[in-house]
Structure 1
Amino acid sequence: MERSSHRVVRRQQALAAGYSDEEIRRRYTRGEWQRLGHGAYIEAATMSALDAPARHLLAVDAVLPALAPDAVLSHGTAAVVHGLPLWDAPLDRVHVTRDRPSGGRTGADVVVHASPLHGSVTTIGGYRVTSPARTVVDLACSYGVESAVVAGDAAARTLAVGSRELSAEVTRAGGRRGVQAARRAAALVDARCESVGESRSRVFFEAYDLPVPSLQHEFRDGGGYFLARVDFYWAEYGVIGEFDGRTKYGRLLRPGQEPGDAVFAEKLREDALRELGYGVVRWTWADLGAPEVLAARIRRALHSRIPFPHPRGD
């Protein structure tokens, strides 16, 4: 992600432009300006129009002048710069890593991690950041397998991060706390995974000892014509798994097509798959929030081949 083009107002700049400290406080108190970091502000209207990653980049720009010269953007902050999706990784503070064995600290605006970097640093859009593979390992060590796989699948798909790179970073992580989560995540990362929901689903399969499905499997009808490509397929059981997220049907839209058309087309596709003898089980974000219930439902689908009612899609 490129450096933000939105203007950060720094206290010294505001004073030089004729504002008093009282006027700065008044604008902040009235909600006209929002604070990004110590002595750094932005207009509230500008801030409200930005998504979370863009807001975080503004926070990065606000704190950069005060960072130590050897500080490298890392963890969730590095993921934002790389354009990777995040799950369960906070963006309330800027995260940096300094190449030293100890001395980490948490401040109001910045979390400083202390860890050998082993040269796993790159520059993107003027920012010095940890490499994509190192970023995935950092996310695993700090926040767990799910956070790492969500970012790691995207890194493998969009940035060509390979298993060797991830394995090398896990090895370098050695005695770090959380390295076991990093090993699990590195083994799960797969470039074929196309969404956060699919990534979370795969972590869920592993956590609940469900059989490993094939990904993005293509089906064809009796005449050999393409019928569908599905998220997950358990070939041994003849069961298809589909994650239904809020953005899924938007991705399926063709030019001029309405969301309702895409939903109807998806139903026809599923009907055709059932007619071919396949079982289909679907789940949503809410279902992933009740994993034991979902695991039981998938096991029933796998072992009984009896059609089950679909959960309501988002």
Structure 2
Amino acid sequence: MDTPDIVTVAQARSLGTSRKTLRGRKAERHLHGIYSPVRRGRDALTLHRSLLRAATFAGTDVASHESAAVLWGFPDVDPPKDLNLLSIAGDRRARVKGMTGRRGLVLPEETVVLDGVDVTTPARTWLDLARTSGVTRLILWADWLFNPVWGGDWDRQPLSTPDGLRTLLDRHRGKPGIRKARLAAERARVGSDSHRETQLRLALVDAGLPEPAVNQWIYDPVTGERIHRGDLTYDEVRIDLEYEGEHHSEKGQVQRDIARSERLHQADWLELRFSSYHARNNWLPAILRTREALISRGWSPTGN
């Protein structure tokens, strides 16, 4: 049997690797009781994943919090300095340098094996992070869980659902961070293709504007055919909001965007295109432009 990249002393013993080998010149000690039989270079994510694989080998702990978030690919989460572990046995882990141990209620359906690592599910990871994260960040992560294509992996399946989060929240009443998690779950939406789309949606609503639909199809009023799936849309007044990321500057994409604009115009839809420029000052340029467009299409700030 091949020796894993990084092992505990107990795991090495079961694989026939001697303690002498672990302490040899070719070996590398990482944390208390965790070694590499052969020293080698690794990037931060690979090292963190391998350390977690060894640390969860005994089956009494699972990767959790930021460590789990990194494994699942949560946006804007880097490998933490310490391994984040959650005891599924309910005991309190002794403080070990390089490891942050926690205990709490962990149900069997809230853990899975990912790339050889016992880890909390994406939804449970999200809930665990609620204690130290702001509501806005939790909304961004929830939108990503519902549609984890951010970054271009368009074939990736949802990591959770609104019903899944609600069930989890009901199961853990009183857990630290639960109030923030509930607020975030209420404002999260299915369909966001990027964090910029989510940020724009939140900014518009917080500014008192109507909430746009997320990634809904726009249909030709005459033929009934699909024209385009808008980033954010106001169907009643026929306004489409598009956030243009860097890939929209590519030649082929520019041509497709022009064709889309022409089709929308023919269907009497008003298209507003936004970029990072409109995200300045908490999206104020985008808010003002959207407000003006809504009023031009008959919307009234007073609701009359």
The secondary structure found in structure 2 opposite 1:274 is helix
**Which residue is equivalent to 2:150?**
none
In 1, Cα distance between equivalents of 2:266 and 2:198: 29
Equivalence for 2:79: 91
Query: How far 1:117 sits from its partner (Å)?
Result: 2.0
Name the amino acid aligned to 2:68: A
Q: 1:9 to 1:100 in 2, by over 3 A?
A: closer
Decide whether aligned partners of structure 1 residues 114 and 223 sit closer, same or farther in structure 2, where only a CA change above 3 A counts. Answer: same
Deviation at 1:167, TM superposition (A): 1.1
Q: Does 1:153 align with 2:143?
A: yes
Residue 295 of structure 1 is matched in structure 2 by 287
Instruction: Output one character per residue of 1:111-163: Cα deviation in whole Å (capped at 9) or x when no partner.
Output: 33443224422222321111222122223333233433333334334246333
Distance (whole Å) between structure 1 residues aligned to residue 71 and residue 215 of structure 2: 28
Distance (whole Å) between structure 1 residues aligned to residue 138 and residue 93 of structure 2 = 21
Q: Which runs of 5+ in 2 are unaligned?
A: 9-18, 148-156, 299-304
Over aligned residue pairs, what C-alpha RMSD do you find? 3.9
Alignment equivalent of 2:255, drawn from 264, 271, 289:
264
**Structure 1 residues 280 and 262: CA distance shift in structure 2, 3 A:** same
Q: Following superposition of structure 1 onto structure 2, how do residues 107-256 of structure 1 map, counting pairs within 5 Å?
A: 109-119=98-108, 120-157=110-147, 158-159=157-158, 161-221=160-220, 222-247=222-247, 249=248
Question: Whole-Å Cα distance in 2 between the matches of residues 15 and 116 of structure 1?
Answer: 37
Percent sequence identity is 21
- Closer, same or farther in 2 for the Cα pair 1:90/1:176, shift >3 Å? farther
Q: Encode CA deviations 1:163-218: one digit per residue, 9 max, x unaligned.
A: 33211222334333322221122223333223333333334344444322122222
Return the TM-score normalized by structure 1: 0.68
Flag the 1:223–1:165 CA change in 2: closer, same or farther, 3 A.
Answer: closer
Larger radius of gyration between Structure 1 and Structure 2:
2
Once the 2 structures are TM-superposed, how far is the Cα of residue 56 of structure 1 from its aligned partner?
2.3
Matches within 5 A, 1:269-280: 269-280=260-271
Question: Cα offset for 1:233?
Answer: 0.5
User: What is the CA–CA distance in structure 2 between the aligned matches of 1:139 and 1:280, rounded to whole Å?
Assistant: 37
Q: 1:274 to 1:70 in 2, by over 3 A?
A: same
1:63/1:122 Cα in 2 relative to 1: closer, same or farther (>3 Å)?
closer
Shift, 1:299, TM fit:
2.1
Aligned length: 269
Q: Which of 54, 59, 70 is residue 48 of structure 2 equivalent to?
A: 59
Preserved contact between residue 61 and residue 89 of structure 2 (Cα < 8 Å): no
Q: Secondary structure at the match of 1:237?
A: coil
* Greater Cα shift, 283-292 or 231-240: 283-292
Query: Normalising by the residue count of structure 2, what TM-score does the alignment of the two structures yield?
Result: 0.70
